A and B are shown apart, each in its own frame.
Chain A
Amino acid sequence: MQMKDKFGIKLGMWLFLYTEIMLFGALFLLYAAYYKKYTANFAESAQELNLVFGTVNTVILITSSFTVAASITAIHNKARKLAIALLATSSTLGIIFLINKYFEWSHKIHAGIYLNSDILTNGPFGSNIFFSLYYLITGLHGLHVFIGIMLLIVCGIMVAQKRIVPGNYVFLENVGLYWHLVDLIWIFVFPLFYLVI
């Protein structure tokens, strides 16, 4: 029976991550072009986003990256229950992130700021583009967070069922990589939308 080529599997996962980087990269390209064009409007619009929510969400994702990385340390150290707890924590943090996002979005939608809304189409061009990109990028990012949460829950179950074990946790490592990518994207989304002034 052939030994699993763990590095090969890991390589495949990193290659997949590169496609995700390029996928979001296309949106960052659009952001870059429009930031150049509408710098002042972007800054004004950024003020209308809730800095507290944004910062809290950033802290949440960074922390969840830590807990995911720690869960791999845990499984390596044969601390199964700790690994499950850490994965549960990561998923919970992810869910809180999405709940925060839900509050942010509904607040904006109630204020009449949504895709193709009257306020946006009749307002400054830069604000329309800013918020269109905001919904698009955070929406796509949120979808990835959701998928990541599902994967983390699956990993938690697999650890509990001993299908992820100290001798073979490549699947967990790869899900971890995916989750860290979600964190990486947010690390750039946060300043570009909340901190430009």
Chain B
Amino acid sequence: MMTTKLSHTGPLSYGRLLLVLGCLYILTGITVFSSQVDLGAFNIWVILLIASIKASLVLLFFMHLKYEPPLLKRTFIATIFILAIFISFMFWDVAFRQAL
């Protein structure tokens, strides 16, 4: 708690950052391509999954979250979790509406 260490690794090297950027470009290409293929109901989940991977790369490396103390990682997960609860619990209503 009070002795939380600052991240020992400083900012990432240019090389590492470029690597992450490259991955992000590739994933962007993949997701655009996937939208041209008809996967039916899976399409939305595929693009959301790829978006989540891209977001994770930005979070972990550009935003340095991988090297930050656990407090930041945990609170970030908690926030996403709460948002996920809000959206999914709303579906208890929206997904089960009865026709009048």
Contacts and interface: CB of A to CB of B under 8 A. Distances in A.
* Genuine A/B complex: yes
Contact of B10 (A7, A76, A197): A76
A62 B31 CA distance: 14
A196 B28 CA distance: 14
Interface in A133-184: 173, 176-177, 180, 183-184
A132 B12 CA distance: 40
Contact of A14 (B31, B75, B80, B86): B75
Contact of A55 (B32, B34, B58): B32
A197 B32 CA distance: 11
A76 B14 CA distance: 12
Contacts of A59: 25, 28
Nearest to B29: A55
Given A28-B87, A76-B11, A187-B55, A62 B25 contact: yes
Interface residues of A, number: 46
A192 B90 CA distance: 19
Interface in B50-100: 50-51, 54-55, 58-59, 61-64, 68-69, 71-72, 75-76, 79-80, 82-83, 86-87, 90-91, 94-95
Interface string A24-53: 010011001101110000000000000100
Chain B binding surface, main DSSP class: helix
B11 A197 contact: no
Contacts of A35: 44
Contact of A180 (B4, B63, B82): B63
B87 A197 contact: no
B59 A6 contact: no
A119 interface: no
Contact of B32 (A65, A76, A180, A195): A195
15 contacts: A15-B75, A25-B83, A33-B90, A33-B91, A58-B28, A62-B25, A69-B11, A69-B61, A72-B11, A73-B13, A73-B17, A184-B59, A188-B48, A195-B31, A197-B38
Interface of A: 6-7, 10-11, 14-15, 18, 21-22, 25, 28-29, 32-33, 35-37, 51, 55, 58-59, 62-63, 65-66, 68-70, 72-73, 76, 173, 176-177, 180, 183-184, 187-188, 190-192, 194-197
